[in-house]
Structure 1
Amino acid sequence: MKTMEKCVLAAVLLCCVLQTAYAIKCWDCRSDNDPKCGDPFDNSTLAITDCHQAPELEHLKGVRPTMCRKIRQKVHGEWRYFRSCAYMGEPGIEGDERFCLMRTGSYNIFMEYCTCNSKDGCNGAALQKSSLLSVCLGTLSVGLVTLILRQ
């Protein structure tokens, strides 16, 4: 294989890996529709959403979701939870995802916004483990690129 072909193949594989890295996956649910969405969070029946595939919002043209968000809301004494892809904001408070933004309002309303982008599914309640498939595919890709470039 010629050097130019090797470089092109390596660039294509690198672009595929980078595309995957920039697309975050988040849990997407509402506790008023699915009680498993609340705390404690039970994702056993939920599919994780690829935020790269999320639709563009009409009021935020050209803005893509790059984070996950969990909203905990108390309205008239009832707790509601919303988990979704986040289009705007910053992770945590001053970049620290351990802290959430809290707001209170009149008429006994309380809201807590938690935003993160450290890993897929970070808007769940517990730590998420890496998928064995994603680890194997990543290792295989790196090995393939190394093998091709050595030839």
Structure 2
Amino acid sequence: MKYLYCALVLCAVFATGWSIKCWDCRSDADPKCSDPFDNTTFAITDCKQQKLAHLGNLQSTMCRKIRQKIHGVWRYIRSCAYLGEPGIQGDERFCLMRTGTYNIFMEYCTCNSKDGCNTGSLKGLSPSLLISTVCFFLWKIV
């Protein structure tokens, strides 16, 4: 019976992990979207529910945060990401930076490690710690 409870918990956790939820906002529309990010007034977006017509059936599997400086004005854009890879060569700690002419700077940070990973600095509970804690308590109860 203990193994059944652990299997059910693991299935529930992994079933919700197949889609990602990301913050979706723009700092030019709401200043709380800039850094430091204040997510108290934003609802997190289920990227599985978003469809972009020009991408066909492509599903979003990542979150993206774009920081751009155009003519001295900083903007932040947080959204679901459809193309690319997390971070640089799979390492989410690094962002892709681009500069251009006419005083333009852009930084793309892409992640898929957890829901809401496009906050920039979110402290959260480790999924593996949560799973092991639940399994431990279920083991002791049964």
Query: Which TM-score applies when normalising by structure 1?
Result: 0.74
Alignment-derived partner of residue 92 in structure 1: 87
Alignment-derived partner of residue 75 in structure 1: 70
CA offset digits 1:54-102 (Å, max 9, x no partner): 1x21111111000000000111100000000101110000011010001
Alignment-derived partner of residue 36 in structure 1: 32
Alignment-derived partner of residue 113 in structure 1: 108
Change (3 A) 1:129 1:14: closer
Change (3 A) 1:103 1:51: same
Unaligned residue ranges in structure 2 (runs of 5+): 1-6
Rg larger for? 1
Change (3 A) 1:14 1:129: closer
Task: Give me the whole-angstrom Cα distance separating, in 1, the residues matched to 2:99 and 2:87.
Answer: 18
Match of 2:117, SS?
Answer: coil
Change (3 A) 1:58 1:12: farther
Aligned residues between the structures: 130
1:130 Cα deviation (Å)?
3.6
Q: Is the 8 A contact 1:122 1:128 kept in 2?
A: no
Q: Percent identity?
A: 69
RMSD: 2.7
1:128 Cα deviation (Å)?
3.5
Query: Which TM-score applies when normalising by structure 2?
Result: 0.79
Q: Is the 8 A contact 1:64 1:87 kept in 2?
A: yes
Task: Give me the whole-angstrom Cα distance separating, in 1, the residues matched to 2:47 and 2:15.
Answer: 12
Alignment-derived partner of residue 52 in structure 1: 48
Match of 1:83, SS?
Answer: strand
Whichever residue aligns with residue 87 of structure 2, its letter is G
Match of 2:17, SS?
Answer: helix
Match of 1:44, SS?
Answer: helix
Out of 116, 122, 129, the residue aligned to residue 127 of structure 1 is 122
Task: Give me the whole-angstrom Cα distance separating, in 1, the residues matched to 2:23 and 2:125.
Answer: 15
Out of 3, 14, 17, the residue aligned to residue 21 of structure 1 is 17
